[in-house]
Chains A and B, each alone.
Chain A
Amino acid sequence: MPKHIFRLVSLIVGFLVVTIIAVPLLVPDSFYRFGHYRANSVVAIAAQQPVLQTANYCKDCHSERHAQWSASNHKSVTCEVCHGAAQGHPQNGKLPIPKDAAKLCTLCHEAMPGRPRTQPQIQVTQHSGGQQCTVCHNPHSPKIAAASVKVAGNAAAGKQKSADCAACHGAAGISPNDTWPNLAGQNAAYLVRILAAYKSGDQKDVAMTPLAQALGDADIQNLAIYYAGLNCKGAAGGKAAGDVAAGKVLAKNCAACHGETGIGSNPAWPKLAAQKQGYLVNALKAFKAGLRKDPMMAGVSRGLSDTDIADLAAYYAAQSCQSTK
């Protein structure tokens, strides 16, 4: 064999020997186990621990919140969307309660082209007057659903029974006194709710409690229907004792439930238009002080000063009680 051929062949053989020895050493064990990759990397990736823990993880300790949330129409928004990943909680401390709810809520609820019509959306500048969403809405059950009770009463029977009420609330539901509310034209569902609250003791009043306790359920229905059917034309809130213009600005915060001029869309909430000024002031102060109990009103009245309350009362008292619709 010529020398140069021998060299070539020995070079090739040498290369092969090196390859045969080196390949098993360099290729990781699990490479080619299933294909042209390291099978162990699949094991490593599958072994990583989840960071988001799902709502089931929260359920045991926060059962009350969980129950409320899972029954609401926010149940598709999992706990960790607002509170952050629960990995390491509770061992490593508390999860945050979002401070700027308005910023968080508007991620989904700001009216925006491209969002499906079925998504509840708000015009941010017109909706809350800059208040935080949590003032009115419970984030765990955001729908404000004062159940609108169906009222089925007899107006004639109500009229008979109303003789007992006339001394304070007027023969036609128009109160002669600034501190007692007008009832004519008020929402029947609201009247039923509030009379039932006096009767059960949920709400207390020196005059109303004993009167309401003497009423049967049918009486309450009849009275509500009777007063709701009365004409409120004669109602007048009295001479303004506050700044109507300032009240109008403040009233924007109340518009979602009570309507822009004090006539709301949901009959479970009272009409405020042309209501007695003194009564409105007392009611708001009672909510603020916690004497009248309502989670919604407690929240919204907390930030009102006495001047604000007087202005609001003056504004609503000055409105027409007849719906403009």
Chain B
Amino acid sequence: MKKEDSKPTLEARRAFLAKLGGAATCAGAVVGAATLGVIPAVSAKTETPSGGASFPTKDYDWTKHQWGFGVDATKCIGCLRCVEACKTENEVPRNAHQFRTWVERYVYLEGEKAVRIDSQQDPVNIQASGSEKEFRFANRYKDAKVEKAFFVPKLCNHCAHPACVQVCPVGATYKTEDGVVLIDHDYCIGCRYCVQACPYGARYFDEEKGVSDKCTWCYHRITKGLEPACVEVCPVGARVFGDQKDKQSPISLFIRNNRVQVLRPESGNAPNVFYVGIDKEVN
């Protein structure tokens, strides 16, 4: 009884929905046609980056470069001069919890299964440095039975398919032609969606300016022919930077001459920071 009752109701609903769909399509066509008037006006402005004069500066053409970064963790000594240089160069807030680049220490103790990880913002390390504005690794494992230990510098991966860019609701973060992910601080509305989206924790929120911030590979330096500040100061060559379009650049040689890996390849972001000498625990 119940089934027979419900049948006509369902059919009637289906018919109604079909008519509604038709009406919506018609309306959509009308609106769409009208909107087309707007879209060409916008799309006409979109240029191919290769056309016209060199961009973004007159001495630097971003179509001629594809930047890449290498990290050789076997060389890193954990001196944190890169962190210091980055803070200075980019006016990163002087505190122990906001960083554009940082260094992690991985320590395997005898008889322990889990790896111990700390970075310069660990309270013990802050105490060793004596200030939240200075950075140093405390020698906390000097008397422990260390089976294996190493340092890993981290920074924004400048992914080929950046999740942070995808989620930005206002187009305030974007991928440049030369492979750098940048943030437009004037356009950022401070929603922090990108901070959440980054699988690497590379972004932080600057409360004072009300915007998200992260590593730019020192875009203002590399467009002037300099190296990023962290690469410039690294005393052991653990950080490598260069143009992937130049087959003899440090980064091309680094990728070619080493077995490199990227962090979290499964996330699909296709990072452009290449690592040598890290364990599977590093991600």
Complex Cα–Cα for A16 and B151 (A):
58
The B-contacting residues of A in range 10-52, CB under 8 angstroms, are 12, 16, 19-20, 23-24, 27-28, 31-39, 41-52
Closest A residue to B137 by beta carbon equals A112
A47: B residues at CB distance < 8 A: 56-57, 220
Least distance between B95 CB and chain A CB atoms (Å): 18
The A-contacting residues of B in range 182-236, CB under 8 angstroms, are 182, 184-187, 216, 218-221, 223-224, 226, 229, 232-236
Closest A residue to B224 by beta carbon equals A50
The A-contacting residues of B in range 36-67, CB under 8 angstroms, are 37-38, 41-43, 45-47, 49, 55-57, 60, 62
Complex Cα–Cα for A251 and B37 (A):
89
A12: B residues at CB distance < 8 A: 27, 30-31
Closest A residue to B75 by beta carbon equals A116
The A-contacting residues of B in range 97-144, CB under 8 angstroms, are 105-107, 136-137, 139, 141-142, 144
Residue A35 contacts which of B46, B74, B224 (CB distance < 8 angstroms)?
B46
Residue B219 contacts which of A46, A76, A108 (CB distance < 8 angstroms)?
A46
Contact A80/B149 with A33-B45, A48-B220 known, Cβ cut-off 8 Å? no
A77 interface residue per 8 A CB criterion: yes
A81 interface residue per 8 A CB criterion: yes
Tally of A interface residues using CB under 8 Å: 47
Are B80 and A107 interface neighbours, CB within 8 A? yes
Complex Cα–Cα for A27 and B105 (A):
46
Complex Cα–Cα for A49 and B90 (A):
10
Tally of B interface residues using CB under 8 Å: 69
Contact A51/B229 with A45-B216, A114-B150, A114-B151 known, Cβ cut-off 8 Å? yes
Least distance between B88 CB and chain A CB atoms (Å): 5
A37: B residues at CB distance < 8 A: 171-174, 184, 187
A107: B residues at CB distance < 8 A: 79-81, 136
Contact A23/B42 with A39-B55, A43-B56, A85-B89 known, Cβ cut-off 8 Å? yes
Residue B89 contacts which of A20, A50, A119 (CB distance < 8 angstroms)?
A50
Are B177 and A34 interface neighbours, CB within 8 A? yes
Complex Cα–Cα for A114 and B151 (A):
6
A70 interface residue per 8 A CB criterion: no
Closest B residue to A76 by beta carbon equals B235
A110 interface residue per 8 A CB criterion: yes
Contact A115/B77 with A16-B31, A39-B55 known, Cβ cut-off 8 Å? yes
Residue A108 contacts which of B85, B173, B184, B235 (CB distance < 8 angstroms)?
B235
Closest A residue to B42 by beta carbon equals A32
Complex Cα–Cα for A80 and B171 (A):
36
Complex Cα–Cα for A119 and B269 (A):
35
B146: A residues at CB distance < 8 A: 113-114
Complex Cα–Cα for A45 and B62 (A):
13
Are B57 and A46 interface neighbours, CB within 8 A? yes
Closest A residue to B175 by beta carbon equals A35
Are A32 and B229 interface neighbours, CB within 8 A? no
Contact A52/B171 with A20-B37, A47-B57 known, Cβ cut-off 8 Å? no
Closest B residue to A82 by beta carbon equals B81
Are A78 and B77 interface neighbours, CB within 8 A? no
Least distance between A118 CB and chain B CB atoms (Å): 8
A54 interface residue per 8 A CB criterion: yes
A35: B residues at CB distance < 8 A: 46, 174
Complex Cα–Cα for A108 and B238 (A):
13
Least distance between B167 CB and chain A CB atoms (Å): 12
Complex Cα–Cα for A191 and B204 (A):
63
A23: B residues at CB distance < 8 A: 38, 41-42
Complex Cα–Cα for A43 and B55 (A):
8
Mask: chain A, 53-64; 1 = CB below 8 Å from B; 0 = not = 010000000000
Are A36 and B78 interface neighbours, CB within 8 A? no
B35 interface residue per 8 A CB criterion: yes
Are B224 and A34 interface neighbours, CB within 8 A? no
Are B220 and A49 interface neighbours, CB within 8 A? yes
Complex Cα–Cα for A19 and B38 (A):
8
Complex Cα–Cα for A46 and B219 (A):
6
- Measuring CB to CB, which residues of chain A are less than 8 angstroms from any residue of chain B? 12, 16, 19-20, 23-24, 27-28, 31-39, 41-52, 54, 76-78, 80-81, 84-85, 107-108, 110-116, 119
